[in-house]
Structure 1
C-alpha cells in the first residue's frame, strides 16, 4: 500500500512540473499566434454621420448664370444608414437635394426630395445627371470649367462635412421641374 501511495505521490510530483510547462507553452503559443480574445467590431452607431461619409468623383456642371448641379458618389463606410438633409455653398444662395422622377404625364421632372438623401449602411448613393443630384439655384457668379466649388453637407444628426468639386462643361441633364415649383421648366 505504501508503494501505491509512493507511486501516486511520485506521479503527482512529476505531473505538476509537466502541467506547468504545458500551460506556459500553451499561453506562449497563444500569444504568438494571436489567439487572444477578439475585440468586437468598431461600433460606429454613436459616431457622427459625417465621419462615415465621403464623396467620390464629385463635379459641378458649368453655368454662366441661373442654375447648375453637383454630382458624385456618396459613400457610407458606417454600419448605419445616413441621411443628408441639407447642403450649402457660397456658389449659390439656394441649394436643394433633388431627385428626378416620372410625373403623371410620363415626363421626367426634378423635384426636391422629401427627407433628404439616404445613404445605406456600407453602401453608396450615386448623384448623377438625370437622377439624384444637388441643385444650385440663383448662382452667385458664373461657374467656369476649371473652377472649384466647396459644399457643406448637413446630416440628420446635425453633423457636417465639407467637400470640394471641380467645375466641368456638360451639356446634358436638361430635365424639367415638377409643375407648381417656382423654377418650373428650367433645365440644368
Structure 2
C-alpha cells in the first residue's frame, strides 16, 4: 500500500513539472490516462496527510457549470473532513450532494463537507457527492487538465489535477437555474 502512494506521488510530481503553466491555466495532454494525486509527504502528519484522490475527472462543458469526481482515499488512522474546494477554472466551487426533495432529486451544498473515515474511502460520482464548479471560465474539453485544491479540516490541503472527460450518463444537468 505504501509503495502505491510513493509511486502516485512520483507520477504527480512528474506530471506537475512537465505540464505546469503559469496562471493555473487548463492544459490538454493525453486524455485517457488515469490520474492519481496524493498530498506531499511531511515530517509531522496532520489529519489530512493520508488523504489522496484516485482517478479524478471533470465532466466536459462549453460553459456554465460542471462537476469533478473521483475517489477520496484516507490512509491515515484518523477521520479526515474536506471542508471546501477551489480551482482556477471557476470562481465558485462547492462541495455538493444529490438528495431527494419533494419527490425529485436535487443538488445542494454538503453541510459539514465530505467525511472520509480512517483507512476508508469516499466516492465522488455523478448522481451523488461531487465537487461543483459554477461559472466556469474556460471550455473543458476531453483531456483538459484542471487543477484543484481541497481544504482539509485541521490538515494540509490536497492539490490534484483532474482530467476532462465526456460523460452523458446519470442524466446530470449542470446548468444555471436548476434546483440546488
Q: Closer, same or farther in 2 for the Cα pair 1:134/1:162, shift >3 Å?
A: same
Q: Does 1:144 align with 2:141?
A: yes
Q: Closer, same or farther in 2 for the Cα pair 1:92/1:155, shift >3 Å?
A: same
Name the SS of the counterpart of 1:51 in structure 2.
helix
Name the SS of the counterpart of 1:139 in structure 2.
coil
Please, what is the CA RMSD of the aligned residues? 1.9
Name the SS of the counterpart of 1:92 in structure 2.
coil
d(CA) in 1 for partners of 2:172, 2:154? 32
Name which one, 1 or 2, has greater alpha-carbon Rg.
1
Name the SS of the counterpart of 1:60 in structure 2.
strand
1:91-106 to 2 correspondences below 5 Å:
91-103=89-101, 105-106=102-103
Is 2:79–2:117's contact at 8 Å kept on the other side of the alignment?
A: yes
Q: Closer, same or farther in 2 for the Cα pair 1:89/1:143, shift >3 Å?
A: same
1:57 to 34, 52, 55: 55
Name the SS of the counterpart of 2:168 in structure 1.
coil
Task: Provide TM-score, normalisation by structure 1.
Answer: 0.68
List gaps (5 residues or longer) in structure 1: 1-45, 178-182
> Deviation of residue 50 (structure 1)?
2.9
Cα deviation, 1:54-92, whole Å, max 9, x if unaligned, reads 101111000000000000000000111100001010011
Q: Does 1:170 align with 2:167?
A: yes
Name the SS of the counterpart of 1:125 in structure 2.
strand
Is 1:110–1:175's contact at 8 Å kept on the other side of the alignment?
A: no
Partner of 1:83: 81
d(CA) in 1 for partners of 2:66, 2:170? 10
Q: Closer, same or farther in 2 for the Cα pair 1:168/1:176, shift >3 Å?
A: closer
d(CA) in 2 for partners of 1:65, 1:108? 23
Runs of 4+ aligned residues of structure 1 deviating over 6 Å after TM superposition are none
Partner of 2:178: 185
| Number of residues of Structure 1 aligned to a counterpart in Structure 2 | 136
Higher RCO (C-alpha 8 Å, min separation 6): 2
Task: Provide TM-score, normalisation by structure 2.
Answer: 0.71
d(CA) in 2 for partners of 1:112, 1:155? 16
d(CA) in 1 for partners of 2:97, 2:170? 12
